[in-house]
């Protein structure tokens, strides 16, 4: 042996002896022909005590023994290196993880495998760290899935890197299905989509958190949701991304809106009560002198033989009686709602409302057509409230007609129709109020019963009338619907159930 070869082999031997890795060499019969000192930390034997013995001497459990036997045989037969992960209980009783390599050593002269070099690197700390990280990831995933907020991370191209259960369910998916999906595949609203992607780009490029107090989001179920969204820059496994947390505030906004509606309805009710009080006061003030006018005109007509004077007196009496009728309706309108529902005639309610409007409609040159069926039964409810609804609908119709026609026009028509209808053996009273004004755009019809909406185009007022009217009708277990053709007509139909007591 040359000096260089000697030193080369000596250096290799010294390296093996000082390696922390466990190094074993097996002959073709499975006997140990070399073991470095590191083996003692696992099996508890000195290396020299293992030489010439089979791998059974390693005192490993049967499962690992069978695996060792399998991989040794596999390396011998295939002449290829075999790499496996093994978990072995060492001499102290601790479980240790090894990255184990079975390397076939070949005799180049005979081209036969003469031995197997087995190198085992202790990866216990690395494996435990990975297991801990995996457990922590599992816990984090479980916690995120329990959170009701919509949480996800997206890269600059809109690809989902992760998502919790709430986010995935918004798109009818499982959380595991979200990773790799692009938001363009999932989100159906193109305007919302482009806005969200632009916001994500902004967060990544400017490296700044973006907070959106009211973020509108339509999920895959078609539900329109309102989110309080926070978007922040984030690095996910080395990928620049946006971390998004969306808190669903839909119910909160709905509750706030309902509170706003109730407050507005309360203000409207107080306003109507004030108007009623004023109307009642005015009516009482008019009533006293009006009674005198009627009586004096009656005396004048009875005691005067002059025909012209008598005709004038009767004319005064007719006008005074007409005023008396208006005063009567004002007093009815001013009367506070009874605590209990009562039977009432819808014809009387409509006539009372029209009496209060008669002068105004005449001045506006509006043609009023009234068609009230004679067989309409009485209704159970609060007549003052129903009169308020009728008056609101007439007011809206009048505004619409005056916007379309400034002066007289044969088409400046207001139709009021009432009849009894039967649906599924149940009787209802149906009141339709139709005007030939400007109509309502189709896209606005669903909105007009919401608070602060207005059916009259060009009106500057903030509308509560239709919202309050709908509330009153629904309290009477009825419905109010709108039909319209823009530029032609608008028809509001109120349907109220007939009381069994009637």
**Residue 346 parent element (H or E):** helix 346-363
How many CA atoms are closer than 13 Å to the CA of 404, on its beta-carbon side? 24
pLDDT tier for residue 470 given thresholds of 50, 70 and 90:
confident
pLDDT tier for residue 462 given thresholds of 50, 70 and 90:
very low
pLDDT of residue 391 exceeding 50, the answer is: yes
Q: Report the distance separating Cα 141 and Cα 131, nearest Å.
A: 15
Contact yes or no for 173/131 (Cβ under 8 A): no
- Predicted confidence at residue 240, as pLDDT, reads 92
With a threshold of 0.85, does the pTM exceed it?
no
- Predicted confidence at residue 309, as pLDDT, reads 77
pLDDT, tens only, 249-271: 999 988 888 888 777 777 766 77
In angstroms, the Cα distances linking 226 to 211, 242, 249, 483, 493 are 14, 20, 6, 30, 33
- In total, the chain counts a number of residues equal to 502
pLDDT of residue 339 exceeding 90, the answer is: no
Alpha helical stretches, state H, 378-420: 383-404
CATH (residue range 129-248): 3.30.450.20
> 14-23, 35-44, 444-453: which has the minimum mean pLDDT?
444-453
- Predicted confidence at residue 298, as pLDDT, reads 77
Contact yes or no for 118/103 (Cβ under 8 A): yes
pLDDT, tens only, 177-211: 988 899 999 998 899 999 999 999 999 999 999 99
* Coil vs helix vs strand at 243: strand
pLDDT, tens only, 213-237: 999 999 988 889 999 999 999 898 8
Domain 340-502 matching CATH 3.30.565.10: the answer reads: yes
pLDDT of residue 356 exceeding 70, the answer is: yes
Higher pLDDT, 11 or 181: 181
* 155: Cβ contacts below 8 Å, ≥ 6 apart: 161, 236, 239, 240, 241
Q: Which CATH class is domain 251-336?
A: mainly alpha
pLDDT, tens only, 408-426: 999 999 999 999 999 888 8
pLDDT, tens only, 23-61: 989 888 888 999 999 888 888 888 888 898 876 766 666
- Predicted confidence at residue 452, as pLDDT, reads 52
What does residue 290 show for φ and ψ, rounded to 5 degrees? -65, -40
pLDDT of residue 463 exceeding 60, the answer is: no
Q: Report the distance separating Cα 475 and Cα 129, nearest Å.
A: 65
Higher pLDDT, 254 or 274: 254
Higher pLDDT, 153 or 499: 153
Contact yes or no for 80/116 (Cβ under 8 A): no
Q: Report the distance separating Cα 246 and Cα 299, nearest Å.
A: 82
Parse the chain into domains and list their residue ranges: 3-121, 129-248, 251-336, 340-502
Which of 355, 324, 323, 331 is closest to 279 using CA atoms?
331
Higher pLDDT, 438 or 293: 438
Q: Is the dihedral angle over the CA atoms 451, 453, 455, 456 positive or is it negative? A: positive
Domains 129-248 and 340-502 share a fold: no
In angstroms, the Cα distances linking 468 to 388, 424, 464, 486 are 9, 29, 6, 24
Q: What is the mean pLDDT of the chain?
A: 83
DSSP for 32-65, please give it.
EEEE-GGGHHHH-S-HHHHTTSBGGGG---HHHH
pLDDT, tens only, 112-166: 888 889 999 999 888 888 888 777 777 777 878 888 999 999 999 999 998 999 9
Contact yes or no for 113/103 (Cβ under 8 A): no
Contact yes or no for 65/56 (Cβ under 8 A): yes
- Predicted confidence at residue 5, as pLDDT, reads 46
pLDDT of residue 459 exceeding 60, the answer is: no
Q: Report the distance separating Cα 447 and Cα 440, nearest Å.
A: 11
State the average pLDDT over residues 353-380: 90
- Predicted confidence at residue 458, as pLDDT, reads 36
* Coil vs helix vs strand at 122: strand
Contact yes or no for 417/434 (Cβ under 8 A): yes
Q: Which CATH architecture has domain 3-121?
A: 2-Layer Sandwich (3.30)
Q: Is 424 left (phi over 0), alpha (psi -120 to 50) or beta?
A: left
pLDDT tier for residue 334 given thresholds of 50, 70 and 90:
low
In angstroms, the Cα distances linking 394 to 22, 258, 490 are 98, 27, 12
């Amino acid at each position: 042996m040359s000096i260089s070869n000697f030193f080369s082999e000596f250096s290799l031997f010294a390296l093996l002896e000082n390696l922390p890795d466990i190094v074993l060499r097996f002959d073709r019969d499975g006997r140990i022909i070399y073991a470095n000192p590191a083996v003692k930390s696992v099996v508890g034997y000195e290396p020299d005590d293992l030489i010439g013995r089979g791998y059974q001497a390693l005192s490993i459990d049967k499962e690992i023994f069978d695996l060792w036997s399998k991989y040794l045989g596999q390396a011998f037969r295939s002449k290829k290196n075999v790499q496996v992960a093994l978990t072995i209980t060492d001499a102290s009783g601790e479980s240790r993880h090894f990255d184990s390599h079975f390397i076939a050593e070949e005799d180049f002269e005979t081209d036969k495998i003469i031995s197997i070099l087995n190198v085992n690197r202790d990866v216990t700390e690395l494996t435990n760290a990975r297991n801990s990280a995996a457990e922590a990831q599992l816990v984090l995933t479980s916690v995120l899935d329990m959170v009701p907020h919509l949480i996800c991370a997206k890269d600059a191209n809109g690809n989902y890197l992760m998502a919790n259960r709430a986010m995935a369910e918004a798109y009818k998916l499982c959380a595991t299905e979200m990773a790799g999906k692009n938001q363009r595949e999932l989100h159906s609203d193109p305007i919302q989509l482009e806005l969200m992607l632009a916001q994500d780009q902004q967060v990544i490029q400017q490296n700044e958190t973006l907070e959106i107090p009211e973020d509108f989001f339509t999920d895959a179920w078609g539900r329109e949701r309102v989110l309080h969204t926070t978007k922040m820059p984030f690095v996910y496994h080395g990928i620049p991304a946006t971390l998004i947390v969306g808190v669903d505030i839909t119910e909160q906004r709905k509750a706030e809106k309902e509170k706003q509606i109730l407050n507005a309805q309360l203000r409207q009710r107080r306003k109507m009560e004030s108007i009623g009080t004023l109307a009642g006061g005015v009516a009482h003030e008019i009533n006293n002198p009006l009674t005198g006018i009627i009586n004096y005109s009656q005396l004048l007509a009875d005691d005067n033989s002059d025909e012209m004077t008598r005709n004038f007196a009767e004319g005064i009496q007719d006008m005074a009686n007409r005023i008396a009728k208006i005063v009567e309706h004002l007093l009815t309108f001013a009367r506070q709602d009874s605590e209990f529902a009562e039977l009432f005639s819808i014809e009387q309610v409509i006539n009372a409302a029209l009496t209060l409007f008669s002068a105004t409609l005449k001045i506006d040159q509006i043609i009023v057509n009234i068609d009230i069926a004679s067989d309409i039964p009485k209704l159970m409810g609060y007549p003052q409230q129903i009169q308020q609804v009728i008056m609101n609908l007439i007011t809206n119709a009048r505004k619409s007609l005056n916007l379309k026609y400034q002066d007289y026009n044969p088409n400046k028509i207001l139709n009021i129709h009432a009849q009894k209808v039967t649906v599924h053996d149940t009787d209802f009273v149906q009141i339709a109020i139709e005007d030939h004004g400007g109509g309502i755009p189709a896209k606005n019809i669903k909105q007009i019963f919401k608070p602060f909406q207005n059916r009259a185009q060009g009106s500057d007022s903030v509308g509560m009338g239709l919202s309050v009217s709908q509330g009153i009708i629904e309290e009477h277990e009825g419905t109010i619907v709108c039909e319209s053709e823009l530029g032609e007509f608008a028809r509001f139909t109120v349907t109220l159930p007939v009381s069994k007591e009637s």
